Copies of this chain bind each other. A is one copy, B any other.
Amino acid sequence: MTIRVTVFGENVHEQTNRVVAEIYPQGMHGCIAATLNANGMDASTVTLQQPDHGLTAEKLAATDVLIWWGHAAHGAVQDAVVDRVCDAVWGGMGMIFLHSAHFSKPFKRLMGSPCNLTWREAGERERLWVTSRNHPIASDLPEHFELEHEEMYGEPFGVPEPLETVFISWFQGGEVFRSGLTYKRGAGNVFYFRPGHETYPTYHDANVQRVICNAVRWAHNPAARIADPNDAPNTPVQQALEPIVEHGPRLHHDGDKGLR
């Protein structure tokens, strides 16, 4: 079964900054999708500028794993689309957040925490260490690898404790950062991966590409999507699994939907 991946690219700096445009002539999203397609996945791209940012209900229903990169225009993402994306994750869609997507609306919504960090844009060396040996997201990677020029992100990173810490980064200027973290939200697998500042050729790096391919396979949940992941069904007394006798005052009538 081919995994269907949608890559959301904000597509702002590619259009407005000459350096970024030269590194990523097809956009960062285009570069990432090309990598996935070259590795046996079925990847397409959507951008902020499209109606619904390209993330219609139909598109999400046909997406096994959604990848998100954004930086300059987090505020321009429509809240209705954020709701739709979170529902899809809760129903079982995998989701991967890259780099500055730590401050994107869907990441903040799924984490329930501030998602902040410290940062410095100096093109310094980053070295990523695998902290979870033989984790599927670290498959075929060396125990550490380097990105010679990257933006620094430093701890404390304002996220909840993850299920697993897969990578931790060392920075030349003296900071550290948990740069690969797994979460589950509803039925959906979520992965955050740090590298990818737009003024460096990070998504052309073979190790970074391998991480993204591995993460897509890890995040993919082959089970059927849950139709309404927010449903809170009433199970009436008459259908209780063990016989019970109803006692005392009720707020709700049979068939009520419950309060929200």
Which A residues fall within an 8 A CB radius of B?
13, 17, 19, 71-72, 74-75, 86, 90, 92, 100, 103, 109-114, 116-124, 127, 129-136, 139, 143-144, 149, 152, 154-158, 160-161, 163-165, 168-176, 178, 183-187, 198-200, 221, 223, 226, 229-237, 240-242, 244, 246-252, 258-260
Contacts A17-B251, A114-B229, A118-B235 given: A164-B176 contact, CB under 8 Å? no
Partner of A161, one of B116, B163, B172, B198: B163
Lowest 10 A-B CB distances belong to which pairs?
A123-B247, A174-B241, A134-B187, A173-B240, A112-B112, A174-B242, A123-B248, A134-B223, A116-B232, A110-B112
Contacts A117-B232, A134-B92 given: A169-B164 contact, CB under 8 Å? no
Q: How far is A126 from B233 in the complex, measured between Cα atoms in Å?
A: 19
Contacts A13-B251, A259-B100 given: A170-B160 contact, CB under 8 Å? no
Enumerate chain B residues within 8 angstroms of A124, measured Cβ to Cβ: 240, 244, 247
- Closest CB in chain B relative to A239 CB, distance in Å: 9
Q: Is A247 within 8 A of B149, CB to CB? A: yes
Q: Is B154 within 8 A of A235, CB to CB? A: yes
Enumerate chain B residues within 8 angstroms of A157, measured Cβ to Cβ: 131
Q: How far is A187 from B130 in the complex, measured between Cα atoms in Å?
A: 12
Q: How far is A259 from B242 in the complex, measured between Cα atoms in Å?
A: 32
Q: Is B127 within 8 A of A230, CB to CB? A: no
- Closest CB in chain B relative to A116 CB, distance in Å: 4
Q: Is A133 within 8 A of B226, CB to CB? A: yes
Contacts A130-B156, A199-B248, A244-B124 given: A232-B161 contact, CB under 8 Å? no
Main secondary structure of the interface of A (DSSP, over half): loop
Q: How far is A236 from B133 in the complex, measured between Cα atoms in Å?
A: 22
Q: List 23 A-B contacts (CB under 8 A).
A: A17-B251, A19-B249, A110-B113, A113-B185, A116-B230, A116-B231, A121-B250, A123-B247, A129-B156, A133-B158, A133-B226, A134-B187, A136-B221, A136-B223, A149-B247, A152-B235, A158-B230, A163-B163, A165-B165, A170-B176, A172-B242, A174-B242, A199-B251
Partner of A186, one of B123, B158, B240: B158
Partner of A134, one of B163, B176, B226, B242: B226
Q: Is B234 within 8 A of A120, CB to CB? A: yes
Q: Is B174 within 8 A of A160, CB to CB? A: no
